[in-house]
């Protein structure tokens, strides 16, 4: 399967311009599934919850309709991060969109730092979606720090984890190698680049978007700075083989009866 990443610096608050840039980028090389950054339509650093509410959209809504139209025109699928308004609730969400519209919605479970001031934590369990004959899992950025997120998706048969991100800490790209390896799942992290200076804060984003196969091998990585489209061929059948030696299976050897759930 050909996986495309579009690493860019979304312009804060400029939803239409960001969608235009996404449209232009996806008109280049062909991919079966594109992964875009977290909050790709709005930018990241909301001043407060009221500003977030003004920029957030329902799902489905205008941005998901625009992305579905792009999927129809390009014969592809897209996973994109966006700010979702659902009644009074605001979610940092990832949508999985195909030519017919929204296929899957994930609301970020582990909110990072100031996100806690603007968003509600996602209330739903991690789940997987059909992607041709494979299964797709969704997680967002800081979810990388919680191995339970990727493991929950792997235990439901995820072959690929699409991972929109706005990373500011330097650890994730290396840590995701372990997420891929311990679960035997391909992982596509699409990070953003650039900086945002808003609400008395400044954040720089770390780029280095990457695609890992189910053995944790890096099949392609974008630079730390600068806009980049990266399209790589990933063998998702590899995710179906969980053996690590003749006698060991990543998921089958687990001993959940001996693990402490923390509850």
List binders of ligand ACM among 33-52 (CB under 6 A). 38
Work out whether 80 is an interface residue with ligand ACM (CB under 6 A): no
Burial track 135-164 (b if 16+ CB lie within 10 A, e otherwise): bbbbbbbbbbeeeebbbbbbeeebbbbbbb
Q: Is 38 a catalytic residue?
A: yes
Measured CA to CA, the distance from residue 146 to residue 108 in angstroms comes to: 12
Q: Is 16 a catalytic residue?
A: no
Shortest distance, position 194 Cβ to ligand ACM, whole Å: 14
Work out whether 221 is an interface residue with ligand ACM (CB under 6 A): no
Residue in 71, 141, 172, 190 annotated catalytic: 141
Residue in 51, 71, 108, 172 annotated catalytic: 108
Work out whether 168 is an interface residue with ligand ACM (CB under 6 A): yes
List binders of ligand ACM among 94-113 (CB under 6 A). 112
Shortest distance, position 11 Cβ to ligand ACM, whole Å: 17
Shortest distance, position 172 Cβ to ligand ACM, whole Å: 8
Shortest distance, position 44 Cβ to ligand ACM, whole Å: 7
Contact present, 174 and 241 (Cβ < 8 Å) = no
List binders of ligand ACM among 129-158 (CB under 6 A). 141-142
Question: Closer to ligand ACM at the Cβ: 83 or 167?
Answer: 167
Q: Is 108 a catalytic residue?
A: yes
Active site amino acids: 38, 108, 141
Q: Which residues contact ligand ACM by CB under 6 A?
A: 38, 112, 141-142, 166-168
């Amino acid at each position: 399967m050909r996986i495309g990443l579009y690493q860019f610096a979304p312009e804060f608050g400029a939803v239409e311009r960001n969608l235009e840039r996404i449209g232009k980028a996806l008109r280049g090389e062909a991919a079966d599934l594109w992964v875009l950054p977290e909050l790709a339509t709005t930018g990241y650093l909301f001043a407060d919850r009221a500003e977030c509410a003004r920029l957030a959209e329902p799902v489905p809504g205008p941005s998901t309709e625009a992305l579905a139209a792009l999927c129809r025109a390009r014969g592809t699928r897209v996973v994109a991060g966006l700010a979702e308004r659902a009644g009074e609730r605001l979610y940092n969400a990832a949508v999985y969109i195909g030519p017919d519209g929204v296929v899957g919605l994930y609301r970020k479970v582990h909110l990072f730092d100031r996100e806690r001031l603007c968003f509600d934590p996602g209330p739903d369990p991690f789940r997987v979606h059909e992607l041709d004959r494979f299964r797709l899992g969704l997680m967002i950025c800081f979810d990388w720090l919680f191995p339970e997120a990727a493991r929950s998706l792997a235990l439901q048969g995820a072959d690929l984890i699409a991972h929109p991100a706005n990373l500011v800490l330097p650890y994730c790209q290396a840590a995701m190698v372990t997420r891929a390896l311990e679960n035997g799942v391909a992982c596509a992290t699409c990070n953003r680049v650039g900086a945002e200076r808003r609400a008395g804060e400044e954040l720089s984003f770390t780029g280095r978007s990457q695609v890992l196969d189910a053995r944790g091998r890096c099949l392609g990585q974008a630079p730390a700075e600068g806009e980049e489209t990266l399209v790589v061929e990933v063998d998702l059948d590899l995710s179906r083989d969980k053996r690590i030696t003749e006698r060991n299976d990543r998921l089958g050897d687990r001993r959940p009866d001996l693990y402490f759930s923390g509850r």
